[in-house]
C-alpha cells in the first residue's frame, strides 16, 4: 500500500515508518524539519519536508505521492515535559488547523483512508476542545481516530518510569497502529490492558 505519514519523525512516527517499510509498504514521510529528510531516506522512506500550515504545498506533496492511506501523527510538543504548558496553543492549532489542512489535501488527492492520532484521556480546557474537533473532523471524513494512552519508553517523557493509566509503550503503540491500517471508520483506543 502507498502510505503518507505526516509526523514521520516524531516519537511514534519514526517507529511506524520503520515497521511500514519492513512490511513492504511504499511510504512517504512528512517532516517540517528539512534536516531530518536524510534520516527518512536512510530508512527507505520518501522524505517530504513540508509545513502542515502551508496548505497549497501540502496539497501538492500529498497529490504527488498519490497515497492510498494518510496517517496523521502531527503534534507540536516540546522535548522537555516541563515545557508542555507553553505548547498548549501550538498543539491545539495542529489539532484544529493542521488536521483540516491534512483532510483537505487527502480529499484533493482522492486518498481513500485517513488515520489520525488523538489521546485517550481528557486534557481539559482548550486542549480537550481541540481534541474533540480533531476527532469530529476525522470521523466526519470517514476516517479512523487512534486514541493513544500516555506514551512511555525510549524517546518519550517517561523513558524510565511508567505513567498512570491510560498508557501504552511506544513500541507497542507503533505495532498496534500498523494493525489498525485496515480498520473501519471509528475510534480505536490504543492502551495497555487494564
Look up the pTM and report it: 0.97
How sure is the predictor about 194, in pLDDT bands with cuts at 50, 70 and 90?
low
In the chain, the number of structural domains is 1
The predicted-structure confidence for 16-55, as pLDDT tens digits, reads as follows 999 999 999 999 999 999 999 999 999 999 999 999 999 9
User: By residue range, what is the domain housing residue 149?
Assistant: 2-190
The predicted-structure confidence for 55-99, as pLDDT tens digits, reads as follows 999 999 999 999 999 999 999 999 899 999 999 999 999 999 999
The widest CA-to-CA distance across the chain, in whole angstroms, is 44
The CATH number covering residue 118 comes to 3.40.50.720
Q: Which residues contact 108 (CB under 8 A, 6 or more apart)?
A: 59, 62, 63
Amino acid at each position: 500500500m502507498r502510505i503518507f505519514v505526516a509526523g514521520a519523525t516524531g516519537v511514534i512516527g519514526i517507529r511506524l515508518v520503520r515497521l511500514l517499510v519492513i512490511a513492504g509498504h511504499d511510504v512517504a514521510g512528512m517532516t517540517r524539519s528539512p534536516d531530518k529528510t536524510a534520516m527518512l531516506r536512510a530508512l527507505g522512506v520518501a522524505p517530504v519536508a513540508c509545513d502542515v500550515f502551508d496548505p497549497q504545498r501540502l496539497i501538492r506533496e500529498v497529490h504527488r505521492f498519490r497515497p492510498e492511506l494518510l496517517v496523521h501523527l502531527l503534534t507540536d510538543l516540546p522535548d522537555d515535559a516541563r515545557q508542555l504548558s507553553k505548547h498548549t496553543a501550538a498543539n491545539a492549532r495542529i489539532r484544529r488547523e493542521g488536521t483540516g489542512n491534512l483532510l483537505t489535501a487527502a480529499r484533493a488527492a482522492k486518498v481513500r483512508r485517513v488515520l489520525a492520532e488523538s489521546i485517550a484521556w481528557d486534557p481539559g480546557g482548550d486542549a480537550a476542545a481541540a481534541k474533540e474537533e480533531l476527532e469530529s473532523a476525522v470521523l466526519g471524513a470517514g476516517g479512523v481516530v487512534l486514541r493513544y494512552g500516555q506514551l512511555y519508553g525510549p524517546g518519550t517523557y517517561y523513558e524510565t518510569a511508567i505513567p498512570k493509566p491510560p498508557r501504552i509503550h511506544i513500541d507497542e503503540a507503533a505495532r498496534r497502529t500498523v494493525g489498525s491500517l485496515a480498520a473501519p471508520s471509528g475510534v480505536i483506543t490504543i492502551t495497555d490492558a487494564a
